[in-house]
Structure 1
């Protein structure tokens, strides 16, 4: 046996060294392919270091004062682009129900809908966001109103974020916008802003197909009172 072959065998047989190799894999391969190679590879993907690399375990205590720019989950950004792209300048450029139903993840709807799907457990970023501001706006003939809420102590995963956002798309004319904040002086890690227009006729039913509604696992914000605001031009 050559020295190089012996060295490779040593690496493959040593969990700590194998973990250093596997962590270099693309996230999709580490999640879906590496665990299928053999029992040892599967066990190695369950170690704390690789669980952090897979965005299943947080890099830092969510209550720490870290000011490091978060690394957004690249696999979730690929599958759920409306949640990770820079929002447009106004509500009509924000994602609506049709944008959610056109996401790449929707191409495998049965797998997407499973309550135990792995994407639901993945952190949206490392370190994970733990503070979110929510703004809900309503446009109506009687004037514009808005109300606000704040969520703290989060260790934000994709399932709860999706369930939280999708509940605001139940109306025909509704949009949602997620803004990521960075910097030392940020007051929140994320802002989720929603807006809808009260229709003169018709009900609340929106265009979301049944398979795209959430599982009710999102946080339950306690909004303040509705207040009238000046209508945007």
Structure 2
């Protein structure tokens, strides 16, 4: 169709901008390679940057919307349905090994290298618009026949700038993969998206865990929590790398309420 149009038609910035606004996120990323005008139009348009989940939406009170591209590329990190109550709402459990099997790009070495590049554009994207304000807390719970530990972690104050102006997918990924790979195996990681209101169904009220779900989720707020469950033999061999890390992660970013010897207050 483009061949039948006047050659100058797609050189009009206003028209280009109008066309780009109607493209899906994936296509909008791709068409920036067409020419300099299309790239510059996308880079300098707040509306297009918001559509790409690079810039927060203007209305912070709008109904939350998951990033469709990230949801496609990283399905375990997102709920199947905004109001799914078949399990703990807005949570997906996975181990590093299981996670690899669910990611279509992981088995293709070329695609894996591109996705896990530190410069990959998805790392700058917000997983949800409006973006989650922060990772509120990280819970770990588990043990072996010798002991059982429940701990809570938060992002240290002098690293809070990494969450401004909201959590990017890159930061969420780095924290989650680090926690999964650290020390103990096997693990599951639950992501709780508190910005989505929980809508109970008839089946929800029949479940004995329903009241606990409500208590854990708490009120709707613009934050994410992580819930890690783990178990081990008394003499574990140590965690194995998942192959999902993008690069070096500074473990000091997370402040735990215990130290290496199990003492509180680190």
CA drift of 1:130 comes to: 0.8
Alignment of 1:214 with 2:213, yes or no, is no
CA drift of 1:161 comes to: 0.9
Q: How many residues align?
A: 213
Structure 1 pair 146–121 and aligned structure 2 pair: CA distance change class (3 A): same
Q: Give the equivalent residue in structure 1 for 2:14.
A: 16
Alignment of 1:145 with 2:145, yes or no, is no
CA drift of 1:101 comes to: 1.3
Provide the C-alpha distance between the structure 2 equivalents of 1:177 and 1:167, rounded to a whole number of angstroms. Answer: 14
> After TM superposition, where is structure 1 displaced by more than 4 Å over at least 4 residues in a row?
86-90, 150-153
Q: Give the alignment's TM-score, normalised by structure 2.
A: 0.69
Is the 2:151–2:257 contact (alpha carbons within 8 Å) kept by the matching residues of 1?
A: no
Provide the C-alpha distance between the structure 1 equivalents of 2:140 and 2:66, rounded to a whole number of angstroms. Answer: 24
Please list the CA deviations of residues 164-221 of structure 1 after superposition, one character each: whole Å capped at 9, or x if unmatched. Answer: 0011222321111111112684245211111211322332223623xx2232458922
Provide the C-alpha distance between the structure 2 equivalents of 1:199 and 1:147, rounded to a whole number of angstroms. Answer: 22
Stretches of structure 2 lacking an aligned partner (at least 5 in a row): 81-85, 198-218
Is the 1:123–1:158 contact (alpha carbons within 8 Å) kept by the matching residues of 2?
A: yes
Q: How does 1:24-39 map to 2 (within 5 A)?
A: 24-32=22-30, 34-39=31-36
SS in 2 for 1:16: helix
Q: Give the alignment partner of residue 192 of structure 2, picking from 157, 179, 204.
A: 179
Provide the C-alpha distance between the structure 1 equivalents of 2:68 and 2:33, rounded to a whole number of angstroms. Answer: 22
Alignment of 1:74 with 2:65, yes or no, is no
Q: Give the alignment partner of residue 57 of structure 1, picking from 55, 58, 69.
A: 55
Provide the C-alpha distance between the structure 2 equivalents of 1:213 and 1:150, rounded to a whole number of angstroms. Answer: 19
Q: Give the alignment's TM-score, normalised by structure 1.
A: 0.77
Provide the C-alpha distance between the structure 2 equivalents of 1:148 and 1:161, rounded to a whole number of angstroms. Answer: 14
Q: Give the equivalent residue in structure 2 for 1:230.
A: none
Provide the C-alpha distance between the structure 2 equivalents of 1:207 and 1:160, rounded to a whole number of angstroms. Answer: 18
SS in 2 for 1:105: coil
